[in-house]
Chain A
Amino acid sequence: MKPSINTTLPITHCCPACGLLCDDLVLNSTSPVIIKNACVKSVSFFEKAFAESTCKPSVAGKPTDLNSAIQAAANILNKASYPLFAGLGTEVQGMRSIMRLAEKTSATLDHMHSEGTVRNTLAMQNSGWQTTTLTEIKNRADVILAIGTDIVSSYPRFFEKLVLNTDTLFTRPKPEVIYLGLAEEAVKLPEIMNTLNALMNAKNPLNKKPDNDIIGGVTIASLKLILEKLKAAKYGVVVWSASALKFPQAELTVQSITQLISKLNESNRVAGLPLNSGDGDSSVNNTSTWLSGYPTRNRFVNGHPEYDAYHFSTKRQLVSSDALLWVSTFNAYLPPDSEAPTIVIGHPDMQFEKQPDVFIPVGIPGVDHVGTMFRMDSSVAMPLKKLRETELPSLSDVICQIEAKLS
């Protein structure tokens, strides 16, 4: 079946391909799909979404009708005592339904990108932080320190929209952008961040080191210069990518970043911007938090929510769970290998090497049905529009029907 394109196109649209949730895209019904404000991520997202794809559910690799697939999924969950709901590539409405199903089946919940999210959450739960949001950056930021990220690979339009913009509420110079710890240099960030914090204290002996001494691959002079620029900023912004900090106890490095921001704020205004990883991670985390009191990684035991950012990871739970429900609606990401019976609900373009026990293709939020998503700064939730008519059910439709078949 080829979904029919909505005839009201061209349409101004919100793009869920990255955490910026740009809502100024203009889409057309013919190729090229995006005719205005495109970026490499949005083009890829909409082209995949509009590609012809199989929309048939399957059980054990054999095509079947939706009802049979839903029954098969319910059968697996009925038998399971410790199901794991992972992936969770969805938006608010989808997550609401997943939370209800998790409560009824005593499931554990973890998002596919939670490695990075958890580093931030742990740092925030340990000491808190001082942060800002996109519109503040667009109008105020005069110095941007990017830690462990070039930003643009994850958010293609970040600079176009927030740094190179000429319209600003307040006169500011073109923001200066400083990068620290890119790519393989990221492993040196613990040392670099600790040094920056130490240099904030005038009495610290590090201040007496020769300027050309090198710590973490950077000269003392450069580190001092970074601090000087941040101290002189009218509104400095420190951006970091927790997902780039791929080393043990990386939450301590996040904390080191937030500690520096906090210290700088004693005299001038500097704020942080933690980046997210996409696939609805911010939406899922927020929804889980207001519904259960906890962010993900959490679980329900007989209706009561529990939280453990360490033990409830997908990796650990795959060892003990007796069913896996994998959800990925924005991208055709495949589930991890599991011994347990596996249900996959997601993007119609999924191509499996190993067929899951149940596969139910569902609509893509912001393409096949409306939805609500949190932007990467978590302060703004955006409405997603529907672009086309399709036979694909939404994730929440499918989850509700599975819920109805639970014994």
Chain B
Amino acid sequence: MITLLKNGRIYDPTSGKDGVVQDIYIKNGRIIAKPSASEKITQTYDLTGKVVMAGAIDMHSHIGGGKVNIARMMLPEYQETKKYTEPEAHICTPSCSHNATPSATDTGFRYIEMGYTAAFEPALMPVNARQTHLEMADTPMIDKGGYAMLGNDDYFLRMLTAKKDQKAINDYVAWILNATQSIGIKVVNPGGINAFKFNQRRLDLDENNSHYQVTPREILKSLSTAVHQLGIAKPLHVHCNNLGAAGNFQTTLDTMSASDGVPMHLTHIQFHSYGTEGDKKFSSAAAQISEALNKNKHITADVGQILFGQTVTASGDNMMQQLNAKHANPKKSVIMDIECDAGCGVVPFRYKDQNYVNALQWAIGLEIFLSVEDPWRIFLTTDHPNGAPFTSYPHLIRLLMDKTFRNEAFAKLNLDAQAMSNLTSLDREYSLYDIAIMTRAGAANLIGLNDRGHLGVGAGADITIYTDQADREAMFAKPDYVFKDGELVVKDGKVVKVVWGATHTAKPAFDIAVEKDLKDYFDKYHTMQLDSFKINDDEISNDGRGSIIVHENKKVSH
């Protein structure tokens, strides 16, 4: 069985191919070199004139787990907004769901229909890992994976206070990756979620958690070092302190230096790029943030673009969500402290283009996209569903690729916000090659998915084929074909075959002795046994449809 994709225009940044016309051969789910003349080609797709990219990878999207399910449960009215058609909504296609809280099934279908073949849940709470994997297992069509949240758990903070050495920290981090079947480590409001349980309401980068007497900076240093020394490809995923607060850009700038040059990824950086200038004491600090990103080569970021319409914010950051709850629309929120592990805050939001702050948030995100020079270090996200549902990506891509379209949208914004943004002075338009970097090659490279995000020989045959259209939103909303592991699964924007995808993990080695102290901790302070906490491979793969892919660590560099 060999499938031939003939004459397509290839955009494959990993191999530097920018619109090169080339054939692709697929066999047993993988891209292969041109077979010998004696081998039979079973199927041929003539892709003359079509745009061919690897399947897209969403490196940060809240697709499953406790807070996502709470959002669904709290907002049954959202299921009715699937055919959302009011003018401020970011419409992609008539069939597209604009639901901010899609079911697991809808999540998989909507992603693959847009040509995305993988999505990563960035806030997998270790104690809630089983639920997250259950939901991801029920998400069809795409590959998935999770970043385990650390840095607010009492076990880790006790270690820091006790001045445990870096090796002990590394063993714990490696153990967590194994136990929770995750591929990366995330920290949310370092130390802040924990501090909130001691009634601290804000925590700055160099401010002590009142109980543990450790600062967010120390937490970031310790965790980023552990991830780096363990050779985990995915740099520490950082949701900075002071999310959403006016003036927080200084915290974000300072955070970039917290790891002493060790790689870190700052997530949904738009929500952390706010100044305090102007009459309303809320301004864009996109210029300062972008300049710092351009300068600090060890830092990567995804944007967390907001788009106008109804959505819900679901975060581990209950400290800041408690403060944001007063802006909830509709007026309700769930705030939780969870298991001496972390917390969550779920707050519905409705971003309005005539609201000064919302309009400026929209502009700030785009300013960052257009001002960060290296597309390999900036990623396209809406922090689904926090900035907007992921179904709005085609619209966002058009905003990046089409300056006229962008400036027309800008002209409709709240006038005070327009006066506070330099967006129209930014002439940059993203190319197809840039988009392929941000949504494919760069994302795969960041997470360490060596056989995804590119079209080279040996790559998994996750491939998306578009008709080149001037309207980039229409183009990216509805690919002609999507192949998942070599199988045709979407034709003309509709699913033609249901597949289940795999779960990507990293399982670095660790000293098993780490479990001795952990067992003692669980027995004394937890309400479950250590063994129940760990997710066995069987739990993901024994239903015959899930599977686990373990990624090799990078070379360890000390």
Contacts and interface: CB of A to CB of B under 8 A. Distances in A.
Contacts of A305: 79, 103
Nearest to A272: B336
Contact of B529 (A20, A23, A131, A374): A23
Contacts, number: 161
Interface in B499-558: 524-529, 531-532, 536, 539
Interface residues of A, number: 57
Contacts of B340: 135-136, 139, 169
Nearest to B347: A128
B322 interface: yes
A379 B69 contact: no
Contacts of B525: 135, 138-139, 167-169
Contact of A133 (B158, B199, B337): B337
Contacts of A380: 127-128, 130, 339, 527-528
Contact of B131 (A128, A167, A293, A381): A381
B40 interface: no
A5 interface: no
Contact of A269 (B64, B197, B526, B527): B197
A136 B339 contact: yes
B135 interface: yes
Interface centre among A127, A285, A380 (most CB of B within 10 A): A380
Interface stretch (B30-38, B183-191, B326-334, B374-382): B326-334
Nearest to A383: B532
A289 interface: yes
Interface string B30-50: 000000000000000000000
Contacts of B16: none
B138 A96 contact: yes
Contact of A167 (B68, B524, B528): B524
A383 B539 contact: yes
Interface string B115-132: 000000000010110110
A349 B196 CA distance: 49
A26 to B, nearest CB: 11
B134 interface: yes
A23 B337 contact: no
B154 interface: yes
Contacts of A294: 72, 76, 79
A372 interface: yes
Nearest to B130: A381
A127 B539 CA distance: 35
Given A168-B525, A378-B66, A129 B532 contact: no
A289 B131 CA distance: 12
Contacts of B78: 293
Contacts of A129: 334-335
B106 interface: yes
A128 B324 CA distance: 14
Interface in A4-35: 12, 14, 20-21, 23-24
B72 A170 contact: no
A374 B130 CA distance: 10
Nearest to B125: A379
Interface stretch (A68-76, A118-126, A221-229): A118-126
Interface string B66-103: 10110011111011000000000000000000010111
Interface residues of B, number: 58
B524 A293 contact: no
Contacts of A291: 103-105, 138
B336 A379 contact: yes
Interface in B317-361: 322, 325, 328, 331-341, 346
A200 interface: no
B256 to A, nearest CB: 32
Contacts of B337: 131-133, 136, 271
B79 A307 contact: yes
A117 to B, nearest CB: 11
B211 interface: yes
A134 B333 contact: no
A105 B468 CA distance: 42
A130 B335 contact: yes
Interface centre among B325, B526, B528 (most CB of A within 10 A): B528
Interface in B129-155: 130-131, 134-135, 138, 154
Contact of A286 (B69, B328, B338, B524): B69
Given A134-B339, A293-B106, A124 B73 contact: yes
A401 interface: no
Contact of B527 (A131, A161, A235): A161
A169 B527 CA distance: 13
Contacts of A21: 528
A169 B79 CA distance: 42
A382 B127 CA distance: 10
B334 A135 contact: no
Nearest to B128: A379
B338 A14 contact: no
A139 B335 CA distance: 19
Interface centre among B76, B127, B158 (most CB of A within 10 A): B76
Nearest to B525: A169
B79 A127 contact: no
A159 B102 CA distance: 39
B504 to A, nearest CB: 20
Contacts of A293: 72, 76, 78-79, 99, 101-103, 106
Interface in B167-207: 196-199
B464 to A, nearest CB: 26
Contacts of A170: 211
A353 B325 CA distance: 53
Given A289-B69, A379-B338, A374 B131 contact: yes
Interface of A: 12, 14, 20-21, 23-24, 92, 96, 121, 124-136, 138-140, 161-162, 167-170, 234-235, 265, 268-269, 271, 285-287, 289-295, 305, 307, 372, 374, 378-383
Given A131-B337, A139-B340, 9 more contacts: A21-B528, A125-B74, A162-B527, A265-B322, A271-B337, A290-B135, A305-B79, A379-B336, A383-B532
22 contacts: A24-B529, A125-B74, A125-B332, A133-B338, A135-B525, A135-B526, A135-B527, A138-B525, A168-B525, A235-B197, A271-B337, A285-B73, A290-B64, A290-B69, A291-B103, A293-B106, A379-B338, A380-B527, A380-B528, A381-B130, A381-B131, A381-B134
Interface of B: 64, 66, 68-69, 72-76, 78-79, 99, 101-106, 125, 127-128, 130-131, 134-135, 138, 154, 158, 196-199, 211, 322, 325, 328, 331-341, 346, 524-529, 531-532, 536, 539
**When A and B form their complex, which 6 residue pairs have the shortest distance between CB atoms, in order from nearest?**
A128-B332, A167-B524, A381-B130, A293-B103, A135-B339, A128-B333
